[in-house]
Amino acid sequence: MRTLVATVLSNNKGNDIYCAARKVSEKQINTIRLSTHKQLEEAGFTFIKMLSLEYPNIKGYAIFYEGHLNEMNRNLKTLEKNIYKKTR
């Protein structure tokens, strides 16, 4: 099962703007923001690139989790622990 987690668009300054799915909490999105793509892919996330055919400068990606939300929550808690260990 593939679950949509968020869509991400890059603005003119190169900053990513996240639009989370309803079932994803703000805390979970913050953990995703602080994690690298490699860490997220190892935890079961998939990234699919998006672009606009009408506006060539609009680019982004969708983040999916390959599994159920319960599994995603457990994996994000593990990632969160690793992130906060590194910041101390």
- Per-residue pLDDT tens digits for 4-28: 999 999 888 889 999 999 999 999 9
Nearest of 40, 42, 62 to residue 51 by alpha carbon: 62
From start to end of the chain, where are the E strands?
2-10, 16-20, 45-51, 59-66
pLDDT at 46: 97
* Model pLDDT, residue 58: 85
Model pTM score: 0.85
Res 52: pLDDT:
86
Q: Domain residue spans in the chain?
A: 2-87
| Residue range 33-87, pLDDT digits in tens | 999 999 999 999 999 999 888 988 888 999 999 999 889 999 999 988 877 676 5
